[in-house]
Amino acid sequence: MEVTIIGCGYVGLVTATCLASIGHMVRGVEKDAQKLKTLQEGHCPIFEAMLADLMKEQCRAGRLRFAGDVSSAVRDAEMVFLCVGSPPKPDGTVDLSYLDDAVAELCEALQGRIGGHMMPVVVKSTVPPGTSRRVSRILREKTKANIEVVDNPEFLREGSAVKDFLEPERIVIGTESPDAMRMMRRLYDPVIQRPESFLTMNWESAELTKYAANAMLAARISFMNEMTILCEGYGADIEAMRQALGLDHRIGPWFLKGGVGYGGSCFPKDVAALEHISRNVGHESLFVRAILAVNSGQKTRFFRKLVAKLGRPIQQAQIAVWGLAFKAETDDIRESPAIDIIRYLLDAQAYVRATDPKAIPNMKRVFGDRVEWCEDPMTAAADADAVAILTDWPQYCTLSYEKVAAVMKRPVLFDGRNCLHPEMMKEAGFEYHSMGRPAVDRRV
């Protein structure tokens, strides 16, 4: 099929590349001139496992091309995806201006198209219930093209997005058109593992499913973070509790890790949006509000623990921050807990030396020269009063901590991701503080 993707950000680029890899002819539209140049040169502008190589392969094969003009890109399209951003406004509501602009450009591009074969316009962006219905109304009023709107939310995890697209657990299709549903089935046919995983519903159900899924996962994380407070108060171990809970088949082991809080491009904004979506129907969601409050409080609690257990005044202390991305295997810092915690440290007049395998360039745009940027964890830890782990990169688990201790002023480590073993830290001579587990006193 001839497919046009409007918006080549994270979701759009993964969607375009993966659709090309299963045989479709894909044109990606990107308005940012610098990013467009990067894409047209065959380079991937984001770090995502497997994506760069797959993108180059599809560009060389001629199945994936990029342009800056919507009109030329949709001229021969059988299907158009809208993959533009839907960021939060300051009040937590969803900013739909990028989507509205894309719809307006699409209307203009389709002015010469009258009737003809039906073309699905697929809303891939995460949008509040009622948005696809509104987009459908606009397209019908402003064009004479034969168009049916589909809502097709994405369920991509950063770090494994290519695998998630090509081996999906479910594909959700929101539409009121049987013909559009059949075209979507044809589009995705090469990756549908089981017939029951291809789910069709109305627009509002599909739109709300995306928010419900992310809020449910965020709730599990926030619940376990709430439990870390009780574990520390009573001397319990959150890791032992997590294993016991995970073996209950009604609960399962996923998203049960205690830590410094969730971040990323989806959970924070989607949970905040769900609170406003609830208010739109006259409901104050105490449950959703609690998810937000617990997650925010966990970052503050980590900082306060660091200040209380540091063993010296925080002012002028040198703190090594390991991990800047909101999770491992990505360079995405959107809503990363590291942003708030570094800000707390700087406001308290501490010196921060930070490192991350992939996310330093992105975090530099936030803090500039207020932070000293280090290429590796050993350099960041040199002469530090403490190390704070804020992203659970696997390479942090395989270091020689005896050598890390030797280069620090004092071997004190605050593990915001519970990614190290307390006994290992004890043997290495560290004073070790994690989330919801008993502290380890220093044994030099």
Environment class of 406 (CB within 10 Å of its CB; exposed 0-12, middle 13-18, buried 19+): middle
- The residues near 214 (Cβ < 8 Å, ≥ 6 apart) are 266, 267, 270, 271
257-281 burial by CB neighbour count: b if 16+ within 10 A, else e? bbbbbbbbbbbbbbbbbbbbbbeee
Q: Which amino acid is at 33?
A: A
SS3 state at 4: strand
How far is 191 from 164, CA to CA, in rounded Å?
A: 10
How far is 363 from 333, CA to CA, in rounded Å?
A: 7
How far is 110 from 133, CA to CA, in rounded Å?
A: 19
Q: Which residues are catalytic?
A: 266
Alpha-carbon distances, residue 156 vs 48, 187, 251 (angstroms): 11, 18, 22
Phi, psi of 130 (to 5 degrees): 100, -15
Residue 417 DSSP one-character state: T
Q: Which amino acid is at 101?
A: D
Residue recorded with tokens 């997590």: 242
- The residues near 95 (Cβ < 8 Å, ≥ 6 apart) are 85, 86, 87, 88, 89
- The residues near 241 (Cβ < 8 Å, ≥ 6 apart) are 227, 231, 436
Phi, psi of 414 (to 5 degrees): -110, 110
